[in-house]
């Protein structure tokens, strides 16, 4: 009888066959599945939630790989925080005849709803006032003005965000006294850590420091806002209170501190971020460090290289949303800055230096030159995903080509030192005329 039992192959032949098969399958997969892998990665970017990547959105890895192209979640979060800053402008009482002139029109419980952000998912806990200690018009000199608010995410919003978010939202320049303070562009020691005096080389713009640290002698509103201390005192007290209280009540929750500001407000946010981290007030009840992130919209430079280095050491993350055509983002330090080279590099230690990572944008409306610094235009451009792209000439009535040629001419003139000085003077005049800081 013939046996039907097959002979078992030796182990060596099995191993060799498996190796060949595996190599063949891998090669085939590489040829046929690479497009599918790319689609899968794209799909992952689109379906990722804030909760699943909130630390990256807050800058844990300096937004590496999230800005070019702009990640949808980052885009939505940057636009969302921009709108929360925009609320400051919508509810500010700018009527000189009003008893609440330069204060918020509404109470804390209804302010976001009145600003058109009813579903924002935050509860406002404190209003913030600033008092420029500079010589200005009698109507504004020495008077407090409402500059923004502190809020905390609701339970529902906390679930969506993946953490409890303490938010500080700050507006840009409005009053003449604030404008006068902005023009105080000399660098001076920050003096925010006098108790320890460990970092005397850290310098910031004197005008922003004045706004941040000056106290009110009298109030702008007919309400009990006098004697509340400086903008700094108000912010430090409220942010540290919220961080401590919520970490005690919800010890298992993650937490973040988000400081969002436009123009002058972004400078105040930058000073606050540095201050909180330097004083250790961004630690919760158990001693864990709460991440501090600044979202700056059209923000100017704030301090010198030592200020930047110290912010980096302290782990303060900064995302600067900057329109390349916005002159405010080039000030102060239009001539001497972090990009200074050659024989001027010797002054680098006293040069203004940007902090953080830049999200570059490019937009312009020729019929409205001030739009290059407008917060609403910033938010609209973010939502339209125009970051890093050239502006649409058709949107300006076909005149974009003329402006582009003018810009090319200006860029060519910058090659000469004399032209640099002239450009700086013209830029300063433009900013002063439009009052954009």
- The continuous run of DSSP H or E covering 130 comes out as strand 122-130
- Tokens representing 353 are 């230096």
CA dihedral (219, 225, 226, 231) in degrees, to 10, reads -90
Domains assigned to the chain:
68-391 (3.40.50.1820), 400-431 (no CATH)
The alpha carbon dihedral of 140, 143, 146, 147 has a sign of: positive
CA dihedral (277, 279, 282, 283) in degrees, to 10, reads 130
Q: What is the pLDDT of residue 143?
A: 77
Q: Which residues have CB under 8 Å from 431's CB, separation 6+? A: 327, 328, 331, 437
Task: Please say whether the beta carbons of 237 and 125 come within 8 A.
Answer: no
Name the pTM for this structure: 0.78
Active-site annotation holder among 263, 266, 296, 371: 263
Our answer to whether residue 326 is catalytic in this structure is yes
CA distance 103 to 140: 12
Active-site annotation holder among 256, 275, 373, 381: 373
Q: What is the pLDDT of residue 365?
A: 82
- Tokens representing 23 are 């190599």
Active-site annotation holder among 326, 371, 374, 381: 326
* Sequential DSSP letters for 213-278: H---SB-SSSSTTTT---HHHHHHHHHHHHHHHHHHH-TTS-EEEEEEEETHHHHHHHHHHHHHHH
Our answer to whether residue 61 is catalytic in this structure is no
**pLDDT per residue as tens, the chain (437 positions):** 444 444 444 444 434 444 444 444 444 444 444 444 443 444 445 457 999 999 999 999 999 999 999 999 999 999 999 999 999 999 999 999 999 999 999 999 999 999 999 999 999 999 999 988 775 554 445 578 999 999 999 999 999 999 999 999 999 999 888 988 888 888 999 988 765 667 888 999 999 999 999 986 544 454 444 457 999 999 999 999 999 999 999 999 999 999 999 999 999 999 999 999 999 999 999 999 999 999 999 999 999 999 999 999 999 999 999 999 999 999 998 877 777 666 565 565 678 999 999 999 999 887 888 889 999 999 999 999 755 444 443 343 333 333 333 334 334 433 333 343 334 434 444 444 344 45
Q: Which of 178, 95, 179, 108 is nearest to 143 (CA)?
A: 178
Q: What is the pLDDT of residue 333?
A: 85
Strands 292-297 and 187-189: unpaired
List the beta bridge partners of residue 152: 123, 166
């Amino acid at each position: 009888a013939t046996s039907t039992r097959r002979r078992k192959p030796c182990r060596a032949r099995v191993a060799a066959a498996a190796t060949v098969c595996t190599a063949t399958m891998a090669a085939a997969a590489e040829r046929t599945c690479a497009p599918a892998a790319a689609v899968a990665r794209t799909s992952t970017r689109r379906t990722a939630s804030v909760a699943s990547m909130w630390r990256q959105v807050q800058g844990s890895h300096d937004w590496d790989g999230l800005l070019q192209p702009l990640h949808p979640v980052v885009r939505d979060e940057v636009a969302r925080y921009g709108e929360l800053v925009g609320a400051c402008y919508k509810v500010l009482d700018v009527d000189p005849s009003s008893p609440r002139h330069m204060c918020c029109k509404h109470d804390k419980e209804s302010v976001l709803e009145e600003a058109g952000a009813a579903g924002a998912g935050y509860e406002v806990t404190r209003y913030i006032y600033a008092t420029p200690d500079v010589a200005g018009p009698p109507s504004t000199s020495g008077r407090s003005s409402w500059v923004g608010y502190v809020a905390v995410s609701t339970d529902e919003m906390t679930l969506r965000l993946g953490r409890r978010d303490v938010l500080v939202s700050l507006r840009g320049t409005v009053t003449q006294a604030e404008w006068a303070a902005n023009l105080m562009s000399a660098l001076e020691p920050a003096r925010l850590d006098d108790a320890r005096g460990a970092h005397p080389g850290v310098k910031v713009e004197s005008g922003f420091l004045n706004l941040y640290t000056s106290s009110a002698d009298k109030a702008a509103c007919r309400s009990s806002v006098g004697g509340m201390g400086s903008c700094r005192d108000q912010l430090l007290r409220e942010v540290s209170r919220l961080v401590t209280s919520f970490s005690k009540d919800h010890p298992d929750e993650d937490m973040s501190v988000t400081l969002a500001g436009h123009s002058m407000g972004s400078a105040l946010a930058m000073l606050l971020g540095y201050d909180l981290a330097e004083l250790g007030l961004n630690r919760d009840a158990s001693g864990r460090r709460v991440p501090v992130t600044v979202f700056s919209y059209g923000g100017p430079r704030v301090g010198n290289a030592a200020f930047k280095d110290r912010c980096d050491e302290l782990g303060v993350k900064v995302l600067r949303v900057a329109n390349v055509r916005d002159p405010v983002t080039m000030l102060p330090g239009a001539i001497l800055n972090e990009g200074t080279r050659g024989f001027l590099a010797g002054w680098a230690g006293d040069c203004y230096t940007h902090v953080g990572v830049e999200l570059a944008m490019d937009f312009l409306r020729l019929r409205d030159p001030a739009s290059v610094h407008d917060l609403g235009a910033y938010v609209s451009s973010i939502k339209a995903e125009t970051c890093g792209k050239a502006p649409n000439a058709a949107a300006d009535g076909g005149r974009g080509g003329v402006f582009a040629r003018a810009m090319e001419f200006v860029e060519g003139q910058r090659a000469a030192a004399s032209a640099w000085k002239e450009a700086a003077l013209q830029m300063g005049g433009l900013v002063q005329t439009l009052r954009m800081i």
